[in-house]
């Protein structure tokens, strides 16, 4: 019924002029633009800052600002903004015009180094976990020269960090940058065992963004989608993803027009988008760029999420980044492909050609999985949220357990190494193990790629790790901060142990082997190559003492564990105040999201569903009454059955909604953020599924013409 109202025709998109290589980065103050708009000395200094973190002087900043302004004005910008990533999960911007009175009745376009480098957003209302009390509400945004400025619409956006007056991080970028420094330094030190020429190690991130699209007019008819990002009710469509006909299927024309538009915009903004395809669920899609340095990659993902939303609207769609917008079909994730590379061009997570290169590879691999083992609970906390909880440990989702999959070849190498005795290991040549007998003509890379496990939350995929449990709406930084900090810490401990052995007289290689052997043996619990979705794994993981907690507020406790605090302090990524503030924000955000869902569910149940069901019930009653009035032996039994069912379900909805409201009333006065979040988890959220079940039953009974909400079958099948 509703479907008839949808306009399925694609929005006309003007094809971009030229090839992607012509317009790539057109809206970015890229190196090419810098070279053109800055003088040589300023350009060199800026590159030095970007690459080596050398501080910029105010004069240089003035020179850069002048060049940037010139470029921005020539490219249609009239405003500028510091663009930052507060703990809301989104991005924040406050636009200022370039114009300034010139003192004689006119205006001039102005932009100084001071405005470029630092601003003071009047932003006392961002989540801060108590770090900034309103009487000391000052926060600073400060330019991050490592991520180039760009233009969106007519605004020059300057990527910045966001810190409190007292120095604590209030955003995702500060700790991300700290963690990247930590892992870069620790990894460089370890690399020097193998190659003295290594000066710098860079962390790379390649994200894959999954999302749903729904028609805008249908979306507007679903207050739950509008206000919570997911459907809080809705009976399963008769046809879902059973036929597996959506994944990699032909992309609907209307969606294709959207994708082309989005890709064009991304390329203009310097986001190297590469892959697009249909995902498993109906209306679900994926977009992935080529991986980049992690800080830039993360800015690009944040930017992508914003422009996706904007372009979707242009195409009369709404993009859903929620991890589980629809019950009963796949949810959306954001795989984070992670690796480390040296300035000598070596991917440290890629098997090499020589025994020495392979020892280096194994060193980094083992350090990574040891970190994942030691901080598996914390890694889970880094990706846990009210929304991602639907993918982690809830119904129809993998369990909330972090394990790692290495594949048969790599597993065999590690097991062989751990089992080797004496000098054995030194003769051990990993090169042979990477070849598989009989099919040696197939390049190693192909072999690696076929050995995949799609159920592992943290899988080794041949030349990188893929952290798959990250949520589709997450800021990737959160996961990357924990991962990089933990690995940095592990690499430092590893080096201390190796150095101690060398000092005690051991040869370097032997010392490395010995320490690795020990590490491999102690982290076996985290290695799991089987089906991560199975119930057996849940039981097995518990035996292995992996973190199996699935209550979201309790998972956040991991940030405040002694070991986590020490690790974050040692790597300089978070101090105690910052950690407490972050946990506080997580609990608060959780509570608010559940509170909003509870309210929306209650409103919909009482104002939309129950009245309509009652109306239909009244119609049936009227019918039955008239049937008995004419007294011709008509069969009223089936209708009476239906009436009873409607009565039962509406009565239950009313009762449960009332109880849920009572539970909220009890939870609301709780002052402590953690206790309140727990109350919301344990006493409020538990009603959602039950209430929904009754509503979904009514959806099956009530006249389709009367049903007040667009149904799954209408929402989910774009043509």
Residues that bind ligand ADP (CB under 6 A): 204, 206, 208, 275, 288-291, 335, 337-339, 347, 463-464
360 vs 453 by CB, closer to Mg ion: 453
Residue 464 binding: pick among ligand ADP, Mg ion, none (C-beta 5-8 Å cut-off by kind): ligand ADP
Q: Count the Cβ atoms, other than its own, within 10 Å of residue 22.
A: 10
476 vs 646 by CB, closer to ligand ADP: 476
- CB-CB contact of 649 with 613 (8 Å): yes
Residue 273 C-beta: closest distance to ligand ADP, Å = 10
The dihedral built from the CA positions of residue 193, 196, 201 and 206, taken in this order, carries a sign that is: negative
For helices 476-503 and 508-522, angle between their N-to-C axes, nearest 10 degrees:
130
| DSSP element (H, E) containing 274 | strand 273-278
Cα–Cα distance measured from residue 434 to residue 428, given in angstroms and rounded to the nearest whole number: 12
DSSP 3-state of 320: strand
Residues whose CB is less than 8 angstroms from the CB of residue 229 and which lie 6 or more positions away in sequence, other chains included: 320, 321, 322, 325, 387, 473
Would you call 463 exposed, middle or buried from its count of C-beta atoms within 10 A (0-12, 13-18, 19+)? middle
Strands 155-164 and 79-84: parallel
- CB-CB contact of 297 with 205 (8 Å): yes
- Applying CB under 5 A, which part among 30-38, 40-48, 329-337, 451-459 lies near Mg ion? 329-337
Residue 63 binding: pick among ligand ADP, Mg ion, none (C-beta 5-8 Å cut-off by kind): none
Q: Is 334 in the site for Mg ion (CB under 5 A)?
A: no
Q: Count the Cβ atoms, other than its own, within 10 Å of residue 132.
A: 21
DSSP 3-state of 270: coil
In angstroms, what CA-CA distances link 82 with 79, 514, 646? Answer: 11, 50, 55
297 vs 512 by CB, closer to ligand ADP: 297
- Applying CB under 5 A, which part among 16-24, 208-216, 250-258, 371-379 lies near Mg ion? 208-216
Residue 335 C-beta: closest distance to Mg ion, Å = 4
In angstroms, what CA-CA distances link 316 with 6, 8, 9, 283, 715? Answer: 10, 10, 10, 14, 13
463 vs 551 by CB, closer to ligand ADP: 463
The pair of three-digit structure tokens given for residue 323, joined into one six-digit string: 């991890």
- Applying CB under 5 A, which part among 167-175, 204-212, 234-242, 414-422 lies near Mg ion? 204-212
Q: Which of 27, 334, 335, 586 binds Mg ion (CB under 5 A)?
A: 335
465 vs 680 by CB, closer to ligand ADP: 465
Strands 292-293 and 201-215: antiparallel
25 vs 377 by CB, closer to ligand ADP: 25
33 vs 267 by CB, closer to ligand ADP: 267
Residue 351 C-beta: closest distance to ligand ADP, Å = 12
| DSSP element (H, E) containing 658 | helix 637-667
The dihedral built from the CA positions of residue 383, 389, 390 and 394, taken in this order, carries a sign that is: positive
449 vs 672 by CB, closer to Mg ion: 449
Residues whose CB is less than 8 angstroms from the CB of residue 650 and which lie 6 or more positions away in sequence, other chains included: 610, 613, 614, 617, 694, 698
The pair of three-digit structure tokens given for residue 650, joined into one six-digit string: 């509406």
What residue number has its CB nearest to Mg ion?
Answer: 335
Residue 206 C-beta: closest distance to Mg ion, Å = 8
Q: Please name every residue paired with 719 in a beta bridge, in sequence order, or none if there are none.
A: none
Residue 180 C-beta: closest distance to Mg ion, Å = 22
Cα–Cα distance measured from residue 209 to residue 602, given in angstroms and rounded to the nearest whole number: 32
Residue 247 C-beta: closest distance to Mg ion, Å = 13
254 vs 335 by CB, closer to Mg ion: 335
Residue 290 binding: pick among Mg ion, ligand ADP, none (C-beta 5-8 Å cut-off by kind): ligand ADP
- Applying CB under 5 A, which part among 249-257, 332-340, 396-404, 435-443 lies near Mg ion? 332-340
Residue 317 C-beta: closest distance to ligand ADP, Å = 22
Closest residue by Cα to residue 29 from 75, 83, 63, 60: 75
Residue 389 C-beta: closest distance to ligand ADP, Å = 24
117 vs 487 by CB, closer to ligand ADP: 487
- Applying CB under 5 A, which part among 11-19, 328-336, 366-374, 538-546 lies near Mg ion? 328-336
Closest residue by Cα to residue 370 from 524, 255, 503, 258: 524
Residues whose CB is less than 8 angstroms from the CB of residue 60 and which lie 6 or more positions away in sequence, other chains included: 42, 45, 46, 113
Residue 347 binding: pick among ligand ADP, Mg ion, none (C-beta 5-8 Å cut-off by kind): ligand ADP
Residue 80 binding: pick among ligand ADP, Mg ion, none (C-beta 5-8 Å cut-off by kind): none
62 vs 208 by CB, closer to Mg ion: 208
- Applying CB under 5 A, which part among 207-215, 469-477, 541-549, 654-662 lies near Mg ion? 207-215
- CB-CB contact of 460 with 529 (8 Å): no
Residue 282 C-beta: closest distance to ligand ADP, Å = 19
> What x-and-dash track marks residues 18-47 binding Mg ion by CB under 5 A?
------------------------------
Residue 263 C-beta: closest distance to Mg ion, Å = 19
132 vs 335 by CB, closer to Mg ion: 335
Residue 466 C-beta: closest distance to Mg ion, Å = 5
- CB-CB contact of 380 with 243 (8 Å): no
327 vs 464 by CB, closer to Mg ion: 464
DSSP 3-state of 33: helix
What residue number has its CB nearest to ligand ADP?
Answer: 206
Residue 202 C-beta: closest distance to ligand ADP, Å = 10
How many residues lie near Mg ion (CB under 5 A)? Answer: 2
Residue 573 binding: pick among Mg ion, ligand ADP, none (C-beta 5-8 Å cut-off by kind): none
Residue 659 C-beta: closest distance to ligand ADP, Å = 44
The dihedral built from the CA positions of residue 177, 47, 300 and 402, taken in this order, carries a sign that is: negative
Residue 463 binding: pick among Mg ion, ligand ADP, none (C-beta 5-8 Å cut-off by kind): ligand ADP
Residue 360 C-beta: closest distance to ligand ADP, Å = 15
Query: What are the residues binding Mg ion (CB under 5 A)?
Result: 208, 335
């Amino acid at each position: 019924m509703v479907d008839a109202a949808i306009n399925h025709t694609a929005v006309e998109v003007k094809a971009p002029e030229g090839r992607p290589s012509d317009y790539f980065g057109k809206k970015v103050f890229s190196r090419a633009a810098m070279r053109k708009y800055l003088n040589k000395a300023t350009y060199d200094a800026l590159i030095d800052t970007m690459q080596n973190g050398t501080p910029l002087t105010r004069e240089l900043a003035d020179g850069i600002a002048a060049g940037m302004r010139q470029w921005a004005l020539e490219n249609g910008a009239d405003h500028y903004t510091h663009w930052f990533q507060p703990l809301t999960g989104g991005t924040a911007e406050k636009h200022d015009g370039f114009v300034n009175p010139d003192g004689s009745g006119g205006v001039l376009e102005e932009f100084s180094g001071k405005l470029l480098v630092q601003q003071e957003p009047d932003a006392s209302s961002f989540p801060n976990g108590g770090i900034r009390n309103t009487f000391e509400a000052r926060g600073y945004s400060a330019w991050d020269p490592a991520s180039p400025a760009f233009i969106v619409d007519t605004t020059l956006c300057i990527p910045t960090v966001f810190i409190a007056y007292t120095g604590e991080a209030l955003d995702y970028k500060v700790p991300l940058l700290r963690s990247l420094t930590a892992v870069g330094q620790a990894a460089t030190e370890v690399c020097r065992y193998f190659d003295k020429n290594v000066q710098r190690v860079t962390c790379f991130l390649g994200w894959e963004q999954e999302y749903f699209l729904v028609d805008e007019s249908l979306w507007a008819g679903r207050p739950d989608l509008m206000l919570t990002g997911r459907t809080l009710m809705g009976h399963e469509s008769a046809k879902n993803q059973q036929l597996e006909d959506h994944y990699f299927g032909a992309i609907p024309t209307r969606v294709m027009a959207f994708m082309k538009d989005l890709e064009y915009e991304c390329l203009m903004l310097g986001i190297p988008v590469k892959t697009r395809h249909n995902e498993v669920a109906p209306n679900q899609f994926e977009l992935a760029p080529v991986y980049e340095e992690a800080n830039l990659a993360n800015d690009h993902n944040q930017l992508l999420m914003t422009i996706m939303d904007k372009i979707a609207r242009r195409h009369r769609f709404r993009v859903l980044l929620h991890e589980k917008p629809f019950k009963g079909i796949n949810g959306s994730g954001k795989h984070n492909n992670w690796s480390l590379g040296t300035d000598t061009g070596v991917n440290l997570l890629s098997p090499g050609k020589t025994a020495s290169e392979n020892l280096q590879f194994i060193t980094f691999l083992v350090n990574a999985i040891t970190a994942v083992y030691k901080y598996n609970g914390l890694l889970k906390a880094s990706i846990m949220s009210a929304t991602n909880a639907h993918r982690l440990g809830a119904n129809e989702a993998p369990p909330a357990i972090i394990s790692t999959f290495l594949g048969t070849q790599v597993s065999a190498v590690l097991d062989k190494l751990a089992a080797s005795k004496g000098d054995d290991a030194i003769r051990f040549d990993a090169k042979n193990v990477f070849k598989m007998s009989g099919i040696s003509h197939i390049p190693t890379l192909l072999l690696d790629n076929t050995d995949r496990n799609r159920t592992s939350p943290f899988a080794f995929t041949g030349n990188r790790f893929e952290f798959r449990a990250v949520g589709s709406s997450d800021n990737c930084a959160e996961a990357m901060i924990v991962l990089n900090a933990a690995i940095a810490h592990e690499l430092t401990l590893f080096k201390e142990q190796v150095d101690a052995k060398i000092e005690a007289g051991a040869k370097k290689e032997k010392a490395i082997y010995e320490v690795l052997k020990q590490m491999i043996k102690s982290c076996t619990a985290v290695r799991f190559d089987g089906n991560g979705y199975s119930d057996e794994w849940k039981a097995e993981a518990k035996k292995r003492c992996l973190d199996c907690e699935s209550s979201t507020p309790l998972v956040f406790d991991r940030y405040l564990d002694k070991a986590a605090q020490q690790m974050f302090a040692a790597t300089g990524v978070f101090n105690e105040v910052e950690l407490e503030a972050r946990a506080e924000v997580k609990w608060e955000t959780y509570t608010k999201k559940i509170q909003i869902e509870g309210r929306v569910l209650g409103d919909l149940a009482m104002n939309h569903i129950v009245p309509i069901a009652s109306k239909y019930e009244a119609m049936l009653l009227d019918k039955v009454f008239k049937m008995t009035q004419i007294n011709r032996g008509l069969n009223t039994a089936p209708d009476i059955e239906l009436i009873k069912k409607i009565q039962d379900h509406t009565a239950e909805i009313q009762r449960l909604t009332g109880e849920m409201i009572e539970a909220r009333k009890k939870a609301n006065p709780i002052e402590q953020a953690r206790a309140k979040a727990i109350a919301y988890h344990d006493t409020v959220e538990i009603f959602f599924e039950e209430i929904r079940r009754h509503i979904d039953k009514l959806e099956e009974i009530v006249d389709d013409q009367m049903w007040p909400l667009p149904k799954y079958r209408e929402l989910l099948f774009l043509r």
